[in-house]
Amino acid sequence: MDRIKRYLTEREEQKQHDWAHEALERMKNDEELLESFYEGEEEKGETYLQEKEAIKGQYEPAIEISIINGGLFYLFYHPRSGENMVH
């Protein structure tokens, strides 16, 4: 299972991820907006921290790979039948 996860992770890392860059830009914009709401306050409080964490959770790019069901197949050629066999 680790080999499959490693393969999928490496394959995903090689792709273009424009959506992730766009999400980071939106996150930055929302964080700037949040900062403007609390401008001038020395101590921002718990609500500010919760809002900042919510923005991070909403926009931070993430790819999660989980294997739900898997199997192992052996393919071989059977010389007597002349056909490929699946087991």
- Per-residue pLDDT tens digits for 23-49: 999 999 999 999 999 998 888 889 999
DSSP H helical segments within 1-87, as ranges? Answer: 2-13, 18-37, 45-59
Q: Read off the pTM.
A: 0.59
pLDDT at residue 83, as a whole number: 59
Of 27, 31, 19, which Cα lies nearest the Cα of 58?
A: 27
- Residue 52 neighbours by CB under 8 Å, 6+ apart: 31, 34
Residue with tokens 């490929």: 84
Contact between residue 9 and residue 65 where contact means Cβ atoms under 8 Å apart:
yes
Q: Is 45 helix (H, G, I), strand (E, B) or coil?
A: helix
